[in-house]
Amino acid sequence: MSATTDSQPALLDQFGRKVDYIRLSITDRCDFRCVYCMSEDMTFLPRDEVLSLEECARLVKVFVDLGVSKVRITGGEPLVRKNALWLFEQIGQLQGLRELVVTTNGSQLESQAAALKKAGVKRINISLDSLDAERFRKITRVGELEKVLRGIAAAKQVGFENIKLNTVLMRDINDDEALSLLEFAIEQEMDIAYIEEMPLGEVNHQRNSTYVSNDATLKLLQQHHTLISSAETTGGPAKYWRIPGTQTRVGFISPHSHNFCESCNRVRISCKGELFLCLGHEDKIDLMPLLRAHPDDDAPLIRAILNSMQIKPKGHDFDLRRAEPAVIRFMSHTGG
């Protein structure tokens, strides 16, 4: 069934914000166990509780028909999902889609970068929190830095429109690498985004003791480089700065120090088909039952998505002084 008609309303929330960007997690599984994203001993979902790739493709098509123009595929680690490339190929063919992007830890890029580019992926974000192999393994618990660096090289060779490194700085863990990671991005002619650690996940992970503000990181970087504020955007929450004489943009995603909710244009869909209207809230709409109860009729799914816009909150309120994390939900569950 066609998802839209000429009179189909756009995805506007109760505050007049247009939602044109979805982040879809296609698996909760990952080959890393990053300390800010997962527990060391994770219990993953049974297969029948995870959206099939066909259900993912159907869901994305409905959202694109409703005016979504940017789709980011996340996880867990999306590239460890068996036959994930088929999904990228299906999404890449959708009319009305402006941009298909992926967030990855880079571990699978050495073998998959070329196929992703051919499928229609335009931009790629690669998580990289350390350039020291031993420290990288401690942060990821199991990751191999050299494998990720080879993946980055493969992505560069393929020629995506943009490659961005994502870095989460944590006090007394890797915050002393802020500058060296920027220098690496400049050398590689890539963008880099510093992301303040999200207060999600385990109660016993005291993020107030590891939190590094992006204001502090910016001041540090400005001691070594000229950073010029830019109005550029990639459709997400990052605030960008340019470094003259380089190809690198420096982004800051600051859910704590600079709330970006007034311009929020996105929603997240977990690998269970849960539509989260805000990363910092538990409010959700379960789409999987609708997908499975109405395999040949998108109308109930469309109604649920349109109605969900009325419960999208005005913003989140992350407070590091709280004894508990804002949301008892691992980042890997919602999607990175």
Residues contacting residue 306 through CB under 8 Å, at least 6 positions apart: 9, 11, 66
Short-list 17, 18, 63, CA closest to 301: 63
Q: How confident is the model at residue 246, as a pLDDT? A: 97
Short-list 5, 23, 7, 19, CA closest to 336: 23
Q: What is the mean pLDDT of the chain?
A: 88
Global pTM?
0.88
pLDDT higher than 90, residue 299: yes
Of 34-38, 61-65, 112-116, where does mean pLDDT reach its minimum?
34-38
- Superfamily of domain 21-334, CATH level 4: Aldolase class I (3.20.20.70)
b/e 279-314 (16+ beta carbons within 10 angstroms → b): bbbeebbebbebbeeeeeebeebbeebeebbeebbe
d(CA 31, CA 164): 20
pLDDT higher than 50, residue 4: no
Q: How confident is the model at residue 320, as a pLDDT? A: 47
pLDDT higher than 60, residue 274: yes
**Mean pLDDT for the stretch of residues 125-146:** 97
Q: What is the pLDDT of residues 117-134, one digit of tens each?
A: 999 999 999 999 999 999
